[in-house]
Copies of this chain bind each other. A is one copy, B any other.
Amino acid sequence: MDETAKAEPRFFEDIAVGERFHTASLTVTRDSIVDFAGHYDPQPMHMDEGAAEESFFGRLVASGWQTLCLTMRLMVEARPFGATPLIGIQIDEIRFQRPVLPGDRLSAELEILEKRISKTRPDRGFLKGRTITSNQKGAEVASQLWTMLVPTKQAP
């Protein structure tokens, strides 16, 4: 948070189509999988190895929501827009390509695909970007299309 406060804000005009941002990485532990599931996705395949063996996945796997939330954390910490916050207003095309397993190390990247200024509010712009989350083997585990609201230089 302190570092975010110190960074300069980037505005809509500063961010180019084609820009790419890479995050750091983090390890998804077995305990964090079970803990997350207990709060947000309390299903056997995310909580208990025995039950998970008999499930569709055949072993304990992270909730897809955990993968998405950890991707958000990695991206917030990467501060692609400097001190300007990441405000998502739509998310489309979320796909889960493969399961996230205990011990997997995740990282993410965002590529800006499109930008447009609001028709009704010239102080606001919208950026569309593809966010891809990968594991330690470089294999995609999830992808998403984010639409983000970013202030223009006309913002007060």
A residues with a Cβ closer than 8 A to B are 1, 4-5, 39-45, 47, 55-56, 63-65, 68-70, 72-73, 76-77, 85-96, 149, 151
Contact = CB atoms under 8 A, between A and B. Distances in A.
The main secondary structure of chain A at its interface with chain B is mixed
B87 A94 contact: no
Copies of the protein in its oligomer = 2
Q: Which of A4, A40, A73, A151 has the most CB of B within 10 A?
A: A40
Nearest to A64: B88
Given A56-B149, A65-B68, A76 B1 contact: no
Contacts of A70: 40
Q: Which of A44, A85, A90, A96 has the most CB of B within 10 A?
A: A85
A150 to B, nearest CB: 10
A96 B88 CA distance: 8
Nearest to A91: B94
Given A85-B45, A90-B94, A72 B40 contact: yes
A25 to B, nearest CB: 16
20 contacts: A1-B47, A4-B43, A5-B44, A39-B69, A39-B73, A40-B73, A41-B72, A41-B76, A42-B76, A43-B76, A56-B87, A56-B151, A63-B72, A64-B88, A65-B65, A90-B95, A90-B96, A91-B91, A91-B94, A92-B94
